[in-house]
Every structure is written in C-alpha cells, then in structure tokens.
C-alpha cells in the first residue's frame, strides 16, 4: 500500500505576557486598593463634619469607611467614592481607611489621619480646641488714693483696669510690700485695687502691678508715685460733748458738743462702746447739736454710747471728744 503525502499540522501558540501581580495581601479576584484623593471639613464646635473622597478601585461592589485603630465601621455599603462623616468636633484627630468590597473579599486602603480645624485663636489638642493664652498685657495703673483711702495720711491706693485674660495680680512697692520694687510681687487676687497701708504721713510711695495667667506673668506697669498727706495735727480730746436729749421722744437722743477745731471740715457722731471702740456712725456731717432718731425704743435698756470725731479736708482725724452715754428710751 502506497503512503499518502505527509500532512503538516500547525498550532497557534499565544504570545507570553507577564502576569499582573496581585497586591500584597490581596487574593485573586478581590477588588483593587482605594486611595484617598481629597478631604475637606465644615463647621466648628460640636457640629463639625469631614468629607473624604477616594479613587475608584477596580472590580469593586461597594465601599466601607472604617477606623482602623479600633476596627470600627463608620459607614458601609457606599456605592460612590465620597462620604461625609457628621457629628464630629473641632480639634479632634480622626483616623480613617477606605475598604473596597466584592464577592471575593475586600481590600483596605492606607490609613489617613485627619485633624478637624479649630477657630482662630484656638489650637487643636486631638480631643478638642484649646484657646491660645497669651501672657497678660502691661496694666495701666494709676493713683486712686483720693477716693479710696480711709486715711490719706497713712495709706495710698493703687488702681488699674481688670483684664479678663488675667488669673491674679501681683503688686510691689518701694516700702517692701511684695519684696520691694525689685521683688517678685505679692498676690492680691483678681482685683483692680491694692490698699497700701502703714505708710508714714507725708511720704511718697512708688508701686507697680503685673498680671499673671496660665501662660505666665505679664510685664510690670509703669511705676506710679503716690503721696500720703501730712497729718494736720495730733488727735486730741479738744471737743467737749454732752447729752441734751431732754424732751426727745422715745427712740431719739440729742447730741451736743463744743470746741471743734477750726481745721475740722467734717464732724461725725460715732457709735462706740463704753471703752471707745467704734461700732458704727450715728450721724455724719453734723453741727454743734443734732437729734438722732430711729434708735431702740422698747422696754429695758436703751443705753447708747457715742463720741464726736472731727476730720480735716484730707480725711485725717484731728480731734475727738469724751465718750457720752445717752438713753434712747428714758429722758
């Protein structure tokens, strides 16, 4: 049997191509890896929000937004590539990752850190906003002795406007209060006045004030120079006083006196005890005699002790009288 002609068989072999590598940790068929492409925040305080947008991942059915620090799902089954997270608060630090999901599994994108912005003048702490505290400004101090001092011959008063950025104030003077003018100052609290007492009559006092808060101590004020008044005269019992309450109704007494010094600009009837300790003022700006009513008028003792005291134009005590006993019930 004769052989037939040989037959040539040919087969087409596809060209070799390098396989596409599967991302590390990604199994075949899983979606591609999403990456953040943009973010922006809105709102301040406890009503802030954060919007994050990411690149589309291949072969993805939907996306989840998670907090990878505690593996908490913030949002799931997102069909688009953008999500807004509401109900955040300014100054907070947030960590987010986007997870692409399909029927074969899921692929997590890189972790992103977000810091929600704070209003101007505040700094983010990771949990909220903290006000930026500056040291207090230099106080503007002035002498207010003429309307604050209880005795202008032995006291001066330093005043300043209170700064709400201050926790407390320090005061120092050249008489040694607060360590002297070169000292650290004495804490006088959150106030706008310092009474500097025990000064020699006719002396000068230099003083300064500075504010302190959590950021530290601010600059000292300019030095304020103040002066005490020289005493007009030594206090003396040059005034004679007596009870002249006869004929007064119950609850009233009448105080009489003579011999007030010529430099007395103000005369006061002081309520005192039997030893002369001042209990209050019965009448101010009086003349040589004055009725005083509205006192105790019930049964029993209505004894009132009183004394006349005179002051000069500077508020210095220039004379006082003997102590007088009056009865506001029986005359």
Q: Please tell me whether residues 58 and 117 are part of one structural domain.
A: yes
Residue 178 lies in a domain: yes
Residue 27 within any structural domain of the chain: no
pLDDT at 120 (0 to 100): 84
Could you tell me if 70 and 124 lie in one domain?
yes
Say yes or no: 145 and 191 in one domain. Answer: yes
Answer yes or no: do 42 and 101 share one domain: yes
- Note whether 170 and 192 are same-domain residues: yes
Q: Is residue 145 part of a domain?
A: yes
Residues in the chain: 331
As to burial, measured by CB atoms within 10 angstroms (0-12 exposed, 13-18 middle, 19+ buried), residue 78 is middle
What is the pLDDT, as a whole number, of residue 20? 43
Number of domains forming the structure of the chain: 3
- pLDDT at residue 235, rounded to an integer: 62
Verify that 73 and 152 share a domain, yes or no.
no
- CATH label of the domain that carries residue 303: 2.60.40.10
Q: Are residues 250 and 222 in the same domain?
A: no
SS (H, E, C) 25-52: CCCCCCCCCCCEEEEEEECCHHHEEEEE
Which parts of the chain have pLDDT scores under 50? 1-4, 6-24
Q: Which of 131, 156, 188 is the last residue of a domain?
A: 131
Q: Is residue 106 part of a domain?
A: yes
Instruction: Answer yes or no: is 126 within a domain.
Output: yes
Which H or E run contains 76? strand 72-78
User: Residue 177, SS3?
Assistant: helix
Domain annotation covers residue 320: yes
Structural domain that includes position 252: 240-327
Which pLDDT value is given to residue 11?
39
> Is position 233 within any domain?
no
The C-alpha R_g of the chain, in whole angstroms, comes to 44
Residue 8 belongs to a domain = no
| Nearest by Cα to 102 from 30, 162, 159, 20 | 30
CA distance 202 to 194: 19
Tell me, yes or no, whether 158 and 215 share the same domain. yes
**pTM of the model as a whole:** 0.42
Q: Which H or E element spans position 146? A: helix 145-148
Q: Say if residue 190 is in the same domain as residue 246.
A: no
Residue where a domain terminates, one of 173, 197, 227: 227
Last residue of some domain: 199, 227, 255? 227
52 and 125 fall within a common domain: yes
Same domain, 100 and 148: no
Tokens (6 digits) for 17: 């191509």
Cα distance between residue 331 and residue 329, in whole Å = 7
* pLDDT tens string 150-199: 678 889 999 999 999 999 999 999 998 999 999 999 999 999 999 998 88
């Amino acid at each position: 049997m004769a052989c037939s002609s040989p037959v040539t068989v040919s087969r087409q072999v596809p060209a070799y191509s390098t396989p596409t590598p599967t991302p590390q940790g990604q199994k075949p068929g899983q979606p591609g890896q999403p990456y953040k492409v943009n973010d922006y925040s809105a709102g301040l305080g406890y009503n802030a929000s954060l919007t994050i947008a990411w690149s589309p991942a291949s072969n993805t059915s939907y996306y989840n937004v998670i907090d990878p620090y505690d593996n908490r799902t913030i949002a799931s089954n997102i069909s688009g590539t953008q999500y807004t997270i509401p109900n955040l608060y300014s100054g907070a630090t947030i960590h987010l990752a986007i997870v692409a999901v399909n029927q074969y599994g899921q692929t997590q994108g890189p972790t992103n850190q977000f810091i929600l912005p704070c209003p101007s003048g505040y700094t983010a702490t990771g949990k909220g906003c903290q006000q930026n505290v500056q040291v207090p400004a230099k106080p503007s101090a002035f002498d207010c002795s003429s309307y604050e001092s209880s005795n202008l011959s032995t006291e001066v008063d330093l005043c300043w406007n209170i700064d709400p950025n201050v926790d407390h104030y320090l005061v120092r003077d050249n008489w040694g209060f607060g360590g002297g003018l070169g000292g650290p100052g004495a804490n006088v609290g959150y106030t706008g006045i310092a009474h500097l007492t025990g000064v020699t009559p006719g002396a000068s006092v230099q003083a300064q004030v500075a504010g302190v808060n959590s950021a530290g101590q601010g600059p000292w004020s300019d030095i304020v120079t103040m002066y005490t008044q020289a005493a007009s005269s030594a206090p003396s019992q040059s005034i004679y006083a007596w009870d002249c309450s006869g004929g007064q109704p119950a609850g009233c007494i009448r105080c009489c006196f003579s011999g007030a010094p010529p430099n007395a600009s103000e005369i006061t009837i002081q309520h005192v005890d039997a030893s002369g300790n001042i209990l209050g003022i019965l009448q101010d700006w009086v003349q040589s005699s004055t009725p005083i009513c509205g006192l105790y008028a019930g049964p029993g003792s209505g004894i009132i002790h009183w004394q006349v005291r005179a002051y000069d134009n500077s508020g210095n005590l220039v004379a006082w009288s003997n102590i007088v006993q009056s009865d506001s019930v029986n005359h």
